Every structure is written in C-alpha cells, then in structure tokens.
Amino acid sequence: MTKKIKGYAAVSADKPLGLYEFERREMRPYDIELDVLYCGVCHSDVHMARNEWGVSVYPIVPGHEIVGRVSRIGKYVSKFKVGDIAGVGCFVDSCRQCDACAVGLEQYCERGMVQTYNSVDPIDGMAIQGGYSQNEIVDENYVLHIPESIDPAKAAPLLCAGITTYSPLRHWKVGMGHKVGIVGIGGLGHMAVQYAKSFGAEVYMITTTPEKSTTAEKLGADGVIVATDKVDMEAHVGSFDFLLNTIPESHDLQPYLNLLKRDGTLIIVGALTQIEPGINGSKMAYKRLSIGTSLIGGIEETREMLDYSAKHNIVPEIELIKIEDINKAFDRIVDRDVRYRFVIDLKASFKS
Ligand SMILES: [Zn+2]
Ligand SMILES: [Zn+2]
C-alpha cells in the first residue's frame, strides 16, 4: 500500500514552494524505502523550480542530495537492511545496458539517466519527485551507503556538490605539480578546493566575493584571487594548469582563460547552458587551450568519493534549515548569501 507523504513542491515558475501531499510508487522487489533525514539544497533546485532551463514539468518536489534511514526493503534487496543510513544523488535509474551504463558512467546513459526529480518513471509513467519530502523509494542499485564517520547532514551535499567536483578532478588527473584554480566558491567550489588540495595540487580560490577569503585557510587553499580585481587577475595570467569553473550561470570565460598557461584546461561544471559571450578561438589556439565539461559522476565513482571523503575528513560547510524556510534559502542562494550549502533537516520539518 502506498501512503500519502508530505513534501514541498513548486507548482509554477513564479510561485514560492509550498506544502504538497503525494504518494510514492508501490515498492518493487529491488526497491528500498528511506525515511529522509536530510536533503541538500542545490542551485539546480532553484533553476528547476523556477523553470530557468525551460524543461520544468509541474508540480516539482526538488532535492537530489538525499540522506535517509532505510525503513523498508523489497523482497530481492541484498545490499541494504532496515536501519542503514543511505544516500541518493542526482539520478535514480538508467538503462543498465548501454556502453556508458556498462562501465559505471550511468550519468551519461545513452537513453538518458532517470533524474531524481522532474522526470518520469520508465515503468509506470508516474512523475518522480525529489528529496524535499518525508520519504523516498529507489532501486537499491542507485542508492549509496553513507560511511559511518560522516555526519549524515554533511553527507547530503556530497551526493551532488561533492561528486560533481571530485569526478572531473579525477578524470583530468589533477594533482601534484599542478597549479589549480577553483572559479566560484559556493556549494560546489568549496568542495572542489578541498579535493584539489588533498590530491596534492597548489590551489587558488577565484571569487568575486572577497569576504570568502576568510575561509581559504580552513578549506586548504594556498591563495585567493578576487576576480573583479584587475591587478590581482593580471598577476596570475598564464600561470594555471587547470581551472574548475563552478559559476552557475553563463558568463564571460575569457578573463579565466587568460589565466591558463599553454595546454591548460578549463572545465565547466556550473553553467551547463548556452555560454555568452562566445569564445575567441585564436586566443585559445595560441596556447593550445582546452575547454571541457563534466556531469556529476557514476554510482561506482560516487561510492569511491564517499569513502575518500570519509578517509580524508572532507565535508561541506552547512547551514541547517527547516523545509518551511526553503523559499528564503532559495533567495539567499541567488544572492550568494550562503556559507556554503543549505541542508534541510526533514526530521525537524512539517511541524508547523
Ligand atoms: Zn545538484
Ligand atoms: Zn544506459
């Protein structure tokens, strides 16, 4: 039997999120049910709730940084037991047959991963809703064990912000001997600084908010560059091997490309949209520069990231909120007024 649960949903692009009652699907043999404990608030949630990517189908219960306690398991479930602390990230299924799925890169599934919200269940056609809610039902193959040593509230943002930055730093083999810049110090950027440092690189935070330099030492950065300070930027021209750009909206890439030395690489993980203004090919060619992108990470790499984060004590800085404060949190994210990730305490929510 399915039961009615509470969540917070966007019902249109121009209305605040509000209380929404809905049902999850019936449990399938490989499903596990989680009582949601915590859910991180990703900038994508804001984009999607407000239809800023033009693909939103309402109502939408956002949330793809979910940590909960297993409350029920399907009859064939073998990887989890009731009581386990488990996490769900940005996708909840994929075709499991294509070349990408076969090598654990489900996020690049050729038939399209099934996203944690604003997507449709391939079996029953129901809208799939995210983690701003009391429970989740997900196939066990798309659920992660959360290492015991990580505070479950702080584990939540690892499932999007953590893996989105860990994966490209690993893929492009960032480490010892590299001068690395993290562009944009928000939920993603402050994780990237910590990973890049622990991989052995010399790491700079590149930010438009000078006040964020106060956290540089804590995050392990070797220096801070204020992107709006021309003299500061000029001093670093042609010196970086690698830039990870986490700025969540379209912006001029040229000032950042100027910081790269020959054969340097800039990877975009934030502004996954049309980039304006365009890029000057000649300026790139004369230094053989590369621009790339990266999208979250597969299940196996997410598992690796969680274990690595536990072992090296890499966690986000968070501010806990109740679901009733989500609209204020969205506004503060847009105003860049969060250090560095809001996490919803679902246990403390739905009480007013
Ligand atoms: Zn996200
Ligand atoms: Zn696939």
Q: What is the pLDDT of residues 71-118, one digit of tens each?
A: 999 999 999 999 999 999 999 999 999 999 999 999 999 999 999 999
| Residue 231 alpha carbon to ligand 1 centre in Å | 34
- Ligand closest to Cα of 104 equals 2
| Residue 220 alpha carbon to ligand 1 centre in Å | 23
| Residue 44 alpha carbon to ligand 1 centre in Å | 5
- Ligand closest to Cα of 130 equals 1
The helix (run of H) or strand (run of E) holding residue 171 is helix 161-171
| Residue 294 alpha carbon to ligand 1 centre in Å | 13
The helix (run of H) or strand (run of E) holding residue 333 is helix 326-334
* Other Cβ atoms closer than 10 A to 11: 14
| Residue 89 alpha carbon to ligand 1 centre in Å | 8
What would the mean pLDDT of 176-196 be, rounded to a whole number?
Answer: 97
Kindly list the distances between the CA atom of residue 16 and the CA atoms of 62, 118, 129, in Å, as whole numbers in the listed order.
12, 17, 17
User: Is pLDDT above 90 for 352?
Assistant: no
**Confidence (pLDDT) at 1:** 60
Q: What share of the chain is helix, strand, coil (3-state, %, to 5)?
A: 30, 25, 45
Q: How far apart are CA 307 and CA 304, in angstroms?
A: 5
**Taking Cα atoms as reference points, which of 21, 30, 16 lies closest to residue 73?**
30
| Residue 43 alpha carbon to ligand 1 centre in Å | 6
Ion ligand 1 neighbours (CB, 5 A) are 42, 44, 160
| Residue 272 alpha carbon to ligand 1 centre in Å | 12
| Residue 282 alpha carbon to ligand 1 centre in Å | 34
User: Is pLDDT above 70 for 4?
Assistant: yes
Q: How far apart are CA 188 and CA 11, in angstroms?
A: 27
Cα dihedral across residues 335, 340, 344, 347: positive or negative: negative
Under the banding of pLDDT at 50, 70 and 90, the label for residue 341 is very high
The helix (run of H) or strand (run of E) holding residue 283 is helix 281-285
- Ligand closest to Cα of 100 equals 2
- Ligand closest to Cα of 103 equals 2
Mean pLDDT check: name the lowest of 79-83, 130-134, 252-256, 332-336. Answer: 332-336
Helix axes 161-171, 187-198, angle to 10 degrees: 40
Q: How far apart are CA 26 and CA 209, in angstroms?
A: 47
What would the mean pLDDT of 54-75 be, rounded to a whole number?
Answer: 98
Do 343 and 39 touch, CB atoms closer than 8 A? yes
Kindly list the distances between the CA atom of residue 135 and the CA atoms of 4, 147, 249, 346, 349, in Å, as whole numbers in the listed order.
10, 20, 31, 9, 13
